[in-house]
Chains A and B, each alone.
Chain A
Amino acid sequence: MPSGRSLETGLTLGDVDVDGAILERIECVHGDSRSAFLRKATIGGAALLGVLALPPAGKAQSAKDVDILNYALTLEYLQAAFYTEAEQVRALRGRARRAVEVVGAVERAHVTAFRDALGRAAVARPTFNFRGVTENQTQFLRTAVAFEDLAVAAYKGQAPRLASDALLAVAVSIHSVEARHAAWMRYLFDITPAANAFDEPLSRPEVLRIVASTNFIAAAGRTEREGTPRFTG
């Protein structure tokens, strides 16, 4: 077994992070040396998200805004992938089916906007394994409610921390859209769309802990490599 390979999972961070999403984020926040160390370090799913949750140290205000935007982008990736897969799998029915078409298109628009705004600083798209949730109407709606409530609380938690008023204007405009989605999914799941007089924000560690608990962030398959083929020729 090569050095730096986990005895438990057989994986290194390099194996899991095939498209570089996680390392790109670490480099953005902590610099190259830390990512080089982590590339060889053995990991588990919780440790992976723990690394993502580390706060930026000693960065300028604009770097902090970039960090917050990338955090928002990661959540948008998750939502966009979730609704897009639900639409492509075609297992939902009725009003839920129409809802995923509309909400999925909006979440993809959010992803496009954040990626364009961040340019080369944008984190890469992670791989998600939704473990069959997109193929079961009840499980899908329950998860959609959780994701939308999570997104609303996450935006609420970070928007006041943005240094730029112009970015705050974007965050607030998305926040209200996510709140509409939350109400829509709650309605479809047959629970009260708006029962609270006051919504609490969630911190980034709290949000990432919830995301980690889903086990939806998956190792990307490696279907391409260099080698000598042994096909029949």
Chain B
Amino acid sequence: MRGSTRITLVAGAVAVLVVALVAARFTSSTAATQPDAPLPAPAQPAFVIPEPEGLAGERATSRWSTVVRAVTVREAADPAAPAIASLSPRTPEDTTNVVLVEGSAVDDAGRLWIAVRVPALPQNVTGWVPRSALGANSFVRTRLVVDLEELHATLLRDGRPIFEADIGIGGPAVPTPTGEFYVRSKLRSLSRFYGPLAFGTSARSAVLTDWPDGGFIGVHGTDRPDLLPGRVSHGCIRMRNEDILELGRLMPVGTPVTIR
């Protein structure tokens, strides 16, 4: 066979092969775009996202923050304002110190200041600290109300009572202070005198100022339940042990405490 004839035959074979491939691709493509060709069904999700729920039901919230560094509490949201107290990052019980937040303001330099209730004498002092001295915010929906006349404590959640107990309070010489305070620590007590659980509050005895660690007022159990209710303590709020354990399940740190 002559060379030119061989080239013509090879070229013809290649042309046939190309036409066949193009035809096959066209046929396949046409089939895939047929309007009635079914597409795969969407994959079923592994789980369903629940309906979003707002916070509308959580109306009576209070805010507290941890103290992350030693800081001077000032009379106003101004670094030049008079100092009225100081805050440490630790409590006398060696827990993280916390403060109840009551407001905020921005100074002339654009710095954010937070109004906090101060766990110091005199009672009920509110002062200002830079936001940078505080850590994470937390929120609670509870409030403990202590009625000194009725010798009774009530825990509210969202404004509704969820716990009540008879209590012991300070006697005439060492009265339980009145005012607005908050819970700042929770101790699993190793002392029979304090019962199995003790909450530390920001309230302080105005009388027992030389008491170890500053005379802070606690809410705790007792080894003398027979004395309750009564004016039998040194200022602390005592409960029967079963009551303090129940309160321990319901009342978080940061809960505001009203003593009246």
For chain B, the count of residues having a C-beta within 8 Å of the partner chain is 62
Bitwise interface map of A from 99 to 121 toward B, beta carbon under 8 Å scored 1, else 0? 00110111011101100110000
B48 cross-chain contacts in A, Cβ below 8 A:
113
- Which of A104, A109, A131, A165 makes the CB contact (< 8 A) with B55? A104
- Which of A117, A168, A227 makes the CB contact (< 8 A) with B94? A227
Q: How far is the CA of A229 from the CA of B45 in the complex (A)?
A: 53
Instruction: Report if A224-B45 is in contact (Cβ < 8 Å); known contacts: A89-B63, A232-B218.
Output: no
For chain A, the count of residues having a C-beta within 8 Å of the partner chain is 52
B43 within 8 A of A: yes
A166-B54 in contact (CB<8A) = no
Q: How far is the CA of A215 from the CA of B122 in the complex (A)?
A: 36
A169-B44 in contact (CB<8A) = yes
B215 cross-chain contacts in A, Cβ below 8 A:
232
Please give me the residue from chain B that is nearest to A102 by CB atom: B52
Docked complex: B184-230 residues within 8 A CB-CB of A: 184-191, 193-194, 198, 200, 205, 208, 211-213, 215-218, 220
A53 within 8 A of B: no
Docked complex: B77-118 residues within 8 A CB-CB of A: 92-96, 98, 104, 106, 112
Docked complex: B113-139 residues within 8 A CB-CB of A: 131-132, 135-137, 139
A87 within 8 A of B: yes
Minimum distance in angstroms from B218 CB to a CB of chain A: 3
Bitwise interface map of B from 169 to 188 toward A, beta carbon under 8 Å scored 1, else 0? 01000100000000011111
Q: How far is the CA of A105 from the CA of B51 in the complex (A)?
A: 9
B257 within 8 A of A: no
Q: How far is the CA of A91 from the CA of B137 in the complex (A)?
A: 14
- Which of B66, B106, B187, B254 makes the CB contact (< 8 A) with A229? B187
B95-A223 in contact (CB<8A) = yes
- Which of B94, B95, B136 makes the CB contact (< 8 A) with A129? B136
Minimum distance in angstroms from A76 CB to a CB of chain B: 11
Q: How far is the CA of A108 from the CA of B52 in the complex (A)?
A: 7
- Which of A108, A132, A220, A229 makes the CB contact (< 8 A) with B53? A108
Interface centre among A91, A116, A167, A221 (most CB of B within 10 A): A221
A89-B137 in contact (CB<8A) = yes
B188-A233 in contact (CB<8A) = no
A102 cross-chain contacts in B, Cβ below 8 A:
52
Please give me the residue from chain A that is nearest to B190 by CB atom: A228
B66-A221 in contact (CB<8A) = yes
Q: How far is the CA of A116 from the CA of B46 in the complex (A)?
A: 12
- Which of A117, A132, A164, A226 makes the CB contact (< 8 A) with B187? A226
Bitwise interface map of A from 158 to 202 toward B, beta carbon under 8 Å scored 1, else 0? 000000111111100110000000000000000000000000000
A230 within 8 A of B: yes
Q: How far is the CA of A233 from the CA of B119 in the complex (A)?
A: 18
Q: How far is the CA of A141 from the CA of B254 in the complex (A)?
A: 29
- Which of B44, B63, B189, B233 makes the CB contact (< 8 A) with A232? B233
Mind listing 22 A-B residue pairs with CB under 8 Å? A88-B139, A101-B55, A105-B52, A105-B53, A109-B51, A117-B46, A127-B136, A130-B137, A132-B112, A132-B132, A135-B104, A135-B112, A166-B45, A166-B46, A170-B45, A218-B135, A219-B135, A223-B95, A227-B188, A231-B194, A232-B216, A233-B233
Q: B-contacting residues of A (Cβ < 8 Å)? A: 84-85, 87-89, 91, 101-102, 104-106, 108-110, 112-113, 116-117, 127-132, 134-136, 164-170, 173-174, 218-233
Q: A-contacting residues of B (Cβ < 8 Å)? A: 42-55, 61, 63, 66, 92-96, 98, 104, 106, 112, 131-132, 135-137, 139, 170, 174, 184-191, 193-194, 198, 200, 205, 208, 211-213, 215-218, 220, 233-236, 253-254
